[in-house]
């Protein structure tokens, strides 16, 4: 389950921001997760709760912001939505696709106290 290491990374980012910006508590974390990132949202929520116990983010609400997958079709030269990494172009059916978005995961915003 790679979500555990991802949750640990998110906590490290939060702790680094707390040191840099001098806040003591995080109440909400907005996490942007791309549709093609391979991150299981429910597993991420579970791991986040486990990792943040007894930390600056203990009890913080985790808000997930889903971002759509997008790709560029090399056959028809169109930017199209993608729901899977190795999917076909919804316009022409080609499998010559280059993923252009939806693979990322990032901390978008923190609400602090």
Q: How many domains does the chain have?
A: 1
Domain extent at residue 27? 3-112
pLDDT of residue 109: 97
Which two structure tokens, joined as six digits, stand for 75? 């056959």
- Would you state the pLDDT for residue 63? 98
pLDDT of residue 12: 97
Question: What is the CATH classification number for the domain harbouring 105?
Answer: 3.30.2320.80
Each of the 113 residues of the chain gets a pLDDT tens digit; together they read 599 999 999 999 999 999 999 999 999 999 999 999 999 999 999 999 999 999 999 999 999 999 999 999 999 999 999 999 998 999 999 999 999 999 999 999 999 98
* Beta sheet of 78-82, edge-to-edge order: 78-82, 69-73, 97-101
Q: Does the pTM of the predicted model rise above 0.75?
A: yes
Q: Given this model, what pLDDT does residue 20 score?
A: 96
What would the two tokens of residue 74 be?
Answer: 């090399």
Note the pLDDT of residue 56. Answer: 96
Q: Using alpha carbons only, what angle is made at residue 88 by residues 85 and 91, rounded to the nearest 5 degrees?
A: 130
Helix H or strand E segment including 80: strand 78-82
pLDDT of residue 1: 57
Q: What was the pLDDT predicted at 113?
A: 86
């Amino acid at each position: 389950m790679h979500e555990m290491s991802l949750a640990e990374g998110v906590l490290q980012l939060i702790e680094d921001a707390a040191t840099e910006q001098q806040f003591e508590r995080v109440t909400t974390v907005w996490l942007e997760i791309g549709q093609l990132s391979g991150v299981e949202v429910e597993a991420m929520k579970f791991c986040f709760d486990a990792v943040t116990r007894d930390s600056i983010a203990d009890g913080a609400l985790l808000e997930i912001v889903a971002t759509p997958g997008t790709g560029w079709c090399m056959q028809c030269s169109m930017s199209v939505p993608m729901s899977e990494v190795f999917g076909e172009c919804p316009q022409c059916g080609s499998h010559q696709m280059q993923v252009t978005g939806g693979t990322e995961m990032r901390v978008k915003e923190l609400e602090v106290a």
